[in-house]
């Protein structure tokens, strides 16, 4: 791990309740990462006003004024032609021109994907980037990709996702030998669409064959039996949003149950510490920040509705990826093919 100077470019305008949530999340992050430089890209007056109004304790930061902003309604043509002075465009351009840096945004996912690919380019050997994030399971966590970048993929894309996920896992859990699986409607080799079966064959005959466990059904995602879960972006995004909704449903209903009566409130007090551990384990805030893996640079997507606390985790993820040279490890693995 390197002690080099790291800079994170931050889209201060993207997502709900911005720039406050971005700046407050940055304050939380800087409390534990005092040697990281932050560059806030956005409306400088709004950013400065929020910092003063809320008496935020920020250090090692600079504000880069941007005259435009990317809205959720912007179409790809508008993003490409008319948003060159936006916080996303200028932030990514900074990362392109400066080593030891990365970009974090809670803004428009399509804009971030389009501009990241345009400005940063792709790692040699990678055809498409994938949205990659960690998800909780019974044992610890798994990596899942793609979570929404590519609606349609082929077998070679899934193989590339596997290779990138393998490289990423070696950073965050270097002591574990990861097991790799492909999401499918059944575990039999003849189940599912043709591209899934082709990807199964590719992985079974690659240097990852000893890591590959085959097809994994969606109800086994949280079992902990698979460390790297592969999917097309359409399926992955549906699974992710379903999981977020179920997590909220479970915690909300548990909260309501323990408020129903005095006896239930006493029961909650007896179990309070256990419930805190349970809530923390499935808390989506802790898993905020998805990596756009495969790009020739670091670009992180935070959830648009993330809290300041959750945005802090996206910043922390960006810092760790830069500090551990994720892209260099992916490049090296592709060279070894």
Based on the domain organization, do 194 and 208 belong to the same domain? yes
Based on the domain organization, do 75 and 99 belong to the same domain? yes
Based on the domain organization, do 146 and 240 belong to the same domain? yes
Based on the domain organization, do 90 and 231 belong to the same domain? no
Of 152, 183, 189, 151, nearest to 165 by C-alpha is: 183
Using 70 as the pLDDT threshold, list the residues of the chain that sit under it. 1-3, 74, 76, 82, 279-282, 337
pLDDT of res. 337: 63
28 falls within a domain: yes
pLDDT of res. 81: 72
Based on the domain organization, do 58 and 154 belong to the same domain? no
330 falls within a domain: no
Based on the domain organization, do 173 and 83 belong to the same domain? no
**CATH assignment of the domain containing 139:** 3.40.718.10
Contact 296, 97 (CB under 8 A): no
Contact 193, 234 (CB under 8 A): no
DSSP state of 302: P
pLDDT of res. 2: 52
Give the Cα separation of 90 and 121 in Å (integer).
Answer: 15
Which tokens go with 262? Answer: 């005095």
pLDDT of res. 333: 75
State the angle between helix axes of 87-97 and 109-120 in degrees (0 to 180), rounded to the nearest 10.
30
Of 194, 199, 246, nearest to 218 by C-alpha is: 246
Determine the structural domain holding residue 310 and report its residue range.
Answer: 1-126+294-325
The model's pTM is 0.86
Q: How far is CA 247 from CA 72, 121, 129, in A?
A: 26, 35, 27
Of 302, 315, 288, 293, nearest to 228 by C-alpha is: 293
Residue 96 burial by Cβ neighbours in a 10 Å radius (0-12, 13-18, 19+): middle
Based on the domain organization, do 132 and 276 belong to the same domain? yes
Based on the domain organization, do 277 and 149 belong to the same domain? yes
Based on the domain organization, do 224 and 306 belong to the same domain? no
The H-or-E segment that residue 142 falls in is: strand 141-145
pLDDT of res. 1: 44
Based on the domain organization, do 152 and 251 belong to the same domain? yes
């Amino acid at each position: 791990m390197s002690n080099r100077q790291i800079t994170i470019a931050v889209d201060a305008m993207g997502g709900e309740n911005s720039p406050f949530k971005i700046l407050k999340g940055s304050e939380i992050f800087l409390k534990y990462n005092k040697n990281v430089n932050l560059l806030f890209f956005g409306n400088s007056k709004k950013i400065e006003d929020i910092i003063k109004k809320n008496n935020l304790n920020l250090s090692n930061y600079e504000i880069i004024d941007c005259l435009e902003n990317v809205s959720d309604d912007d179409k790809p043509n508008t993003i490409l032609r008319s948003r060159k002075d936006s916080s996303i465009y200028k932030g990514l351009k900074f990362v392109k021109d400066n080593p030891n840096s990365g970009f974090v945004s809670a803004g428009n996912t399509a804009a971030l994907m389009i501009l990241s690919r345009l400005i940063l380019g792709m790692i040699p050997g990678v055809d498409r980037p994938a949205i990659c994030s960690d998800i909780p399971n019974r044992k610890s966590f798994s990596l899942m990709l793609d979570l929404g970048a590519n609606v349609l993929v082929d077998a070679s894309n899934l193989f590339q996702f596997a290779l990138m996920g393998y490289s990423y896992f070696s950073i965050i859990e270097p002591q574990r030998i990861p097991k790799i699986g492909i999401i499918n409607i059944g575990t039999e080799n003849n189940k599912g669409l043709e591209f899934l079966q082709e990807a199964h064959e590719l992985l079974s005959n690659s240097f990852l064959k000893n890591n590959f466990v085959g097809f994994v059904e969606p109800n086994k995602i949280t079992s902990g039996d698979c460390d790297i879960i592969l999917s097309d972006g359409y399926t992955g995004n549906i699974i992710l949003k379903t999981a977020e909704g179920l997590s909220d449903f479970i915690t909300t209903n548990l909260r309501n149950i323990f408020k129903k009566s005095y006896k239930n409130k006493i029961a909650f007090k007896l179990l309070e510490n256990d419930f805190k551990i349970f809530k923390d384990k499935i808390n989506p805030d802790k898993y905020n920040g998805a990596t756009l893996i495969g790009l020739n640079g670091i670009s992180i997507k935070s959830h648009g509705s993330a809290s300041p606390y959750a945005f802090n985790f996206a910043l922390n993820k960006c810092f760790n990826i830069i500090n551990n040279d994720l892209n260099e490890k992916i490049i090296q693995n592709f060279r070894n093919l």
